[in-house]
Chains A and B, each alone.
Chain A
Amino acid sequence: MQDTLKQALDNVALSSEEYFLIVSRLGREPNEVELGVLGTLWSEHCAYKHSRPLLKLLPTTGKGVLTRTGEENAGAVDIGDGLCLIMKIESHNHPSAVEPFQGAATGVGGIVRDIFALGGRPIALLNSLYFGPLAESHNRYLFDGVVRGIASYGNCLGIPNVGGGVFFSSSYSDNPLINVMCVGIANAGSITRSRGKASDVLILAGSATGRDGIYGASGLASRTFESEAEMRSTVQVGDPFMEKILMEACLKLVELGLVSGIQDLGAGGISTALAESASRSECGVMIDISRMRKREESMSPYEVLLSESQERMLLLVPPRNEEKVKSVFQDFGIPASSVGFLTSDSKFRVKEGEKVVAEVPVELLVNPPTYELKTRKKIAPERIDFLPDISPPEVEEVFMRVLSSPNLASRKWVFTQYDHQVGVNTVVPPGSDASCLRIKGGDKAIALTCDGNGRYCHLDPYVGGMMAVAEACRNLACVGAKAIAATDCLNLGNPEREEIYYQLKSVIRGIGRACRVLDIPVVSGNVSLYNEMKGRAIYPTPVVGVVGVARIKSICTPHFKSEGDQVYLLGKEKEGIDGSEYLELRWGKVGGKVSIDMGTEKKLCRLLLLLIRRGIIKSAHDVSEGGLVCTLAECCILGGIGFEGKWDIQSRIDSYLFGESPSRAVVSLSPDKTFELERMAQTYNIPLKRLGEVKGNRFILPFIDLPLARLSSSWYGGLEKALSAS
């Protein structure tokens, strides 16, 4: 093969096999511009070449699902009263590794556009962030930059940022994960689908097209690098003000019913937007790039087509509405120009003035090859059964270390930097198991969470996938919400390696299984592969975002409420330290065997919901990272009230206190309700153990007797302390 062709293929990350496939399907060699467009549309990032066959394993249909997963910008699910939620999660890992502030900021921008492209008003943002240990200064720089980037962009839009998670592990040192989720609300009958008719005019609105982000999809997100500095110029710079007015203008257009479709320009820029719109509309498309506003003179067609400049939307507009649409944009001060139209043939045709610069079948662009690769099961995780138990005198010190560790400490430092209240709906702010937003004008609330623990998935990707879904649903159940739909972001290494492909497949199988048992459709999602540097991949990390519906009158919170309340553990009491925070913190190990019984999980979630709806319990908190002892501590700290529980531990102490096995929750209730609790737990066949009572201002447990004030200051200050360490 000629060197120039090799170089051209390398630029767009196409293999020579793929090139020959293109030549045979096209019946000729593509020109340079066509090759660029094909490379982008066939990139892993846009085409899901390696994951598409596996994603079929996920349940995507169910009661109330209004969209077909993967066919729209985001997924929509009916919540009754004529309303629906639109939701999606997406990663912005690679750009954020290169430039944390702008990488994270534009991640927010992209996901928000996906939501209002369907005509939904975005009402909540969440984000799950994964970084290397804060002891390393580069990780502190990334963490700080990402949080500032999300704050700067999200706060400017007036969308509350209500939750998510932050997790630290050396696995993410070179590959931080920035997963952003957005939820919007719309009238169930008026979702805008990106489907138009032949002769519909294409209006491009928003920012001008510049040279930023070229190769973002094909290059940055679809392969691995030796050094992050290699790709700095592929990151875009965000303009949240343009996004905000673009959002208001698009929502106005939907309200006025002036458009047939709205399509966000994301990965792959105008090329992807045109190809997808044409394909969904079952039309061809013709665009004249000389009509596009550009930031620089003399941009080549190649650059214009592949630019990933932010804050641009493509609108499919019936010709009679063209001027009305433009006048709405004008009122908002947004530049908008007609750049082409949908055609009745099936060609993707690009002109520059009169000259045709690219012409390929739409079908070729949107039907890339997919790959099912060989898998190889990873070697068994490290054994930990030989480790000695903790000795009683050590318990207090180790407990305080776990409680104030960056993975367990309060996230207040993060979420106070985000506006989490704008919109006046935030009934349960971030910091609980799940956040709750009321839906104005009725008695409903929605609950939101996103979860995923890479450590568990590293130990067993199938079980870890199930656990991510289970934890999200349990978190919703703890606030009194029934899960109705999920969106997932799968973050893994290079799928062309057999053990990574195995992880990918197993994680998807796990998520699919859990969603089937819990009856939750996966309505949208995103896959981020090639998260590895120098041959070292991240832990397989699925982040599962789930929304649920609750009644405003019966929303539960995790904190203890009043002196004398009785505290119980729902679920099995004795479990292992496998994959726990304690294990890594105390022994420096990530090992053992994780497991979950989905049947029990389902019963527990149902029981929690009933206990909350019937007003039997006053608080509920899921047992997760840090184990039973940290769960109890959080209930006390958040409630500003102590706890006393004395019992004999028959098994290993560390396992009892710090074990993180799933399907468990701590609840509190007034003494006169305990009989009902016992009766219902028995009905649902969930083990129940009385732990103690809410009392005073000390935290008293077997081998622990500490003032609550000390727990409070360590927990609230843990993250800042880790950040200030140098």
Chain B
Amino acid sequence: MAGKGPSRFGIVVFPGTWSDRDCFYALAHILKQDVRYIWHKETDLSGYNCVVLPGGFSYGDYLRPGSIACFSPVMSEVKRFAREGRMVIGICNGFQILCEAGMLPGVLLPNCHLRYCCQWVYLKAEGPDSAFTSRRNAKVLRMPISHYEGNYYAPPDILEELEAEHRVAFRYSTPEGRIESEVNPNGSLNNIAGVLNKRRNVLGMMPHPERACEQLLGSADGNLVWQSIMNAI
């Protein structure tokens, strides 16, 4: 990226968000990008190259994850931002919010075992590379998940469309990259861990790339997602 300055990332903070600081650390301190927090009441996204909707429990998520956050003032701007073709990544609660806001198809149901689940998973990215996965170099990625509602569901026709259009960005896999039900941590249909919108500029994923940016913490594979975004901007 010679000659190109750092990209500007905006991290949206809802009341109850908690991955905001982790995303900030990864992007600002490890990847040396220009990063700002965006409080949920703000409505000006001009100047950002990518908006991050981080994990957490927005508004406590007592009703249903993301069901209140999707009505926050900032969200109508995030929708416009995406319509303009700019990049939006929703992680964990961010994925749930994107689904609630209708920016991605499907829903995240409670895990099939009805327990919160924090563990490492392996992820396979298939099909033609998206702007979020171009740097993966055919690698199986290792990242953590941490959620109660990560069980991806979409009606059969939508699911078929997602698959036909290669919009499943990540699937839970074995370390070797095989897609098996034994390694599905939450009951997601087709082992789906992340999906893209039609235009492929919006990604929602349950695993946390920001928690996998240093070997010290167990994996640096998350950087490949961020670097793909930086490359695409």
* A and B are partners in one complex rather than unrelated chains: yes
A residues neighboring B (CB under 8 Å)? 148, 151-152, 155-158, 239-242, 244-245, 248, 332-333, 415-424, 426-427, 438, 440, 552
Of B14-22, B132-140, B193-201, which stretch is located at the interface? Answer: B14-22
CB of B146 within 8 A of chain A? yes
Write out the residue numbers on chain A whose beta carbons fall within 8 Å of the beta carbon of B25.
424, 440
CB distance from B14 to the nearest CB of A (A): 10
- Report the bound CA distance from A21 to B57 in whole Å: 50
**Given known contacts A151-B116, A419-B116, A424-B211, A240 and B57 CB-to-CB distance under 8 angstroms:** yes
Given contacts A241-B57, A244-B57, A426-B217, contact A416 B18 (CB under 8 A): no
Q: Which residue of A lies closest to B56 (CB)?
A: A158
Closest B residue by C-beta to A240: B60
Please state if B18 and A438 are interface contacts (CB–CB under 8 Å). Answer: no
Nearest-CB residue, chain B, relative to A154: B116
A424–B217 contact, CB under 8 A? Answer: yes
Give residues of chain B (108-135) contacting chain A, Cβ–Cβ below 8 Å: 115-119
**What 1/0 flags go to B8-37 for Cβ under 8 Å of A?**
000000011011011001100100000000
- 15 extra interface residue pairs, beta carbon distance < 8 Å, beyond A241-B59, A424-B211: A155-B116, A241-B16, A244-B15, A248-B15, A332-B15, A416-B118, A417-B115, A417-B116, A419-B146, A421-B217, A422-B146, A423-B21, A424-B213, A424-B217, A426-B217
User: Which residue of the partner chain A has the closest CB to B55?
Assistant: A422
Contacts of B55 in A (CB 8 A): 422
The 5 closest A-B pairs by CB, nearest first: A158-B18, A241-B60, A156-B57, A419-B146, A424-B22
A contact residues around B57 at 8 Å (CB): 155-156, 240-241, 244
Given A156-B57, A421-B217, A438-B216, A244:B116 Cβ within 8 A: no
Chain B contact residues: helix, strand, loop or mixed: mixed
Chain B residue with minimal CB distance to A156? B57
A427 pairs with B15, CB closer than 8 A? no
With A419-B146, A424-B25, A552-B216 known as contacts, the answer to whether A156 contacts B118 (CB < 8 A) is: no
Shortest C-beta distance, A397 to chain B (Å), equals: 30
30 contacts between A and B (CB under 8 A): A151-B115, A151-B116, A152-B116, A155-B57, A155-B116, A158-B19, A239-B60, A240-B57, A241-B15, A241-B57, A241-B59, A241-B60, A241-B62, A244-B60, A415-B118, A416-B117, A416-B119, A417-B117, A419-B116, A419-B118, A421-B208, A422-B19, A422-B55, A423-B21, A424-B22, A424-B213, A424-B214, A427-B216, A427-B217, A440-B25
Contacts of B119 in A (CB 8 A): 416
Residue in B15, B146, B211, B217 whose CB lies within 8 Å of A245: B15
Give Cα A248 to B40, complex, Å: 15
Shortest distance in angstroms between B157's beta carbon and chain A's nearest beta carbon? 34
A630→B14 CA distance, assembly (Å)? 47
B15 touching A421, Cβ below 8 Å: no
Q: Which residue of A lies closest to B214 (CB)?
A: A424
Give every chain A residue within 8 A of B146 (Cβ-Cβ).
155, 419, 421-422
Q: How far is the CB of B18 from chain A (nearest CB, A)?
A: 3
Taken together as a complex, chains A and B put the C-alpha atoms of A723 and B60 apart, in Å, by 30
In Å, the complex CA distance between A98 and B190 comes to 42
Contacts of A151 in B (CB 8 A): 115-116
Q: Answer yes or no: B144 CB below 8 A from chain A CBs.
A: yes
What residue of chain B has the Cβ atom nearest to residue A161's Cβ?
A: B118
> B221 near A: Cβ within 8 Å?
no
Residues of B within 8 A of A157 (CB): 18
Bound CA span A148–B210, Å = 26
Asked, given contacts A416-B118, A417-B115, whether A424 binds B16 with beta carbons under 8 Å apart, the answer is: no
A318 CA to B151 CA, complexed, in Å = 50
User: By the criterion CB–CB under 8 Å, are A156 and B22 in contact?
Assistant: no
Q: How many Å from the CB of A423 to the closest CB on chain B?
A: 7
A41→B217 CA distance, assembly (Å):
45
Docked-complex contact A417 and B118, CB < 8 angstroms: yes
List residues of chain B with CB within 8 A of the CB of A422.
18-19, 22, 55, 146, 211
Q: Which residue of A lies closest to B58 (CB)?
A: A241
CB closest residue in chain B, given A160: B118
Contacts A158-B18, A245-B16, A440-B25 given; does A420 touch B118 at CB 8 Å: yes
- With A156-B16, A241-B16, A419-B146 known to touch, is A424 a contact of B210 (CB < 8 Å)? yes
A415 closest partner in B (C-beta): B118
Q: Which one of A245, A415, A423 lies within 8 Å of B22 (CB-CB)?
A: A423
Report the nearest A residue to B59, measured CB to CB: A241
Bound-complex Cα distance A151 to B148 (A): 10
In the complex where A245-B16, A333-B15 touch, is A421 in contact with B60 (Cβ < 8 A)? no
Docked pose: A241 CA to B29 CA in angstroms: 28
Q: Which residue of A lies closest to B22 (CB)?
A: A424
CB of A721, distance to nearest CB on chain B (Å): 16
Complexed CA–CA distance, A29 and B89 (Å): 66
